[in-house]
A and B are shown apart, each in its own frame.
Chain A
Amino acid sequence: MSRKTLNKTSKCRFCRMGVDEVNYKDIQNLVKLTTTQGKLFSRKRSGNCAHHQHSVKISIKRARFMGLLPYVT
C-alpha cells in the first residue's frame, strides 16, 4: 500500500535529472561517484540504476584515459 508512495522519486540521480547517457566530459558529476582514492562507488553506495551505473563505469574509464580523472591518488 505504501510502497507506491515510497518509490515515487527514483533513487538514481541520473534518472531524476533526466539524463539518458552519462557523458565522459561531465567531470563534476563523475567525481562525486568516485572515492578519494579514485575508485568507483558501488551501486549500493551511489544508488544508481543498472543502466546508469554501467554508463558511469564506461565514462569514468574514458575520462581516466584522457587525464581528466585519476587512476589512483
Chain B
Amino acid sequence: MRMYEGLFLIDNAHANMEWDTVVKHIQDILQKNGAEVLKTEKWGEKKLAYKVNGHKRGTYLIIHFNAKNTVLVTIKRDFQLSDYIIRSLIVKDDKIEDVSQIGIIEGPPEKEAEKIPEIPAIELLEESVEPVKATEGV
C-alpha cells in the first residue's frame, strides 16, 4: 500500500448541478478497486490556462488515498472512461505524515522570507545611528 494524491478536473456543468454525486462517483471508483480514501477536498472553480476538450473553466477536486500500485492502472482507466472527469493526475505522496495538515500552499512562506531580513536591517540602522551621534558630540 502506498499513499497517492489525485487531482481531478471536473466538468463545470456537472460540478454546479450535482457535486455530491460526482464526488461519490469518484470515491466509488477508488473503493471498488480496493483503495482507502483518506481525504477529499474541493479546490474550487478556476479558469483554465488553455482549452481542455473544449472547456474554458473547470472545478478541481483533490483526493488523498491509499492503494496498491498494481491497482493503479485500472483506476486510471476508469477515470478516463468517466463522463464527469475531464482530466486526472495521480501522484505519489509519501512525504506527508499528517493527513489533517494537507492543504494548498498559497504563498505565505515567501512573505515570511521577506519579513526576516527586515529585522536585522533595522538593528543595523540603529547601530549605525549611535556612532554618528558620538562623532557629532566630539
A binds B: yes
Q: Which residue of B87, B91, B107, B109 is within 8 Å of A67 (Cβ)? A: B87
Within 8 A of B (CB), among A49-73: 62, 64-71, 73
Q: How large is the interface on B (under 10, 10 to 19, 20 to 34, 35 or more residues)?
A: 20 to 34
Task: Report A16-73 residues with CB < 8 Å from chain B CB.
Answer: 16-21, 23-26, 28-29, 62, 64-71, 73
Main secondary structure of the interface of B (DSSP, over half): strand
Report whether B50 and A62 are in contact in the complex, using a CB–CB cutoff of 8 Å: no
Chain A residue at minimal CB-CB distance from B113: A17
Asked if A67 contacts B7 (CB within 8 A), the reply is no
With beta carbons under 8 angstroms apart, the residue of B48, B89, B95, B105 that contacts A62 is: B89
B49 contacts chain A at the CB level, 8 A cutoff = yes
- Residues of A in contact with B (beta carbons under 8 Å apart): 16-21, 23-26, 28-29, 62, 64-71, 73
- Distance in angstroms between the alpha carbons of A66 and B105 in the assembled complex: 17
Among residues of A, the one whose C-beta sits closest to the C-beta of B55 is: A67
B96 smallest CB distance to A (angstroms): 11
Quick one: closest A residue to B8, CB to CB? A66
**In the complex, which residues of chain B have a beta carbon less than 8 angstroms from the beta carbon of A69?**
49
Q: A66-B9, A67-B87 are in contact. Are A25 and B104 (CB under 8 A)?
A: yes
Q: Whole-angstrom distance between the alpha carbons of A22 and B105 in the complex?
A: 10
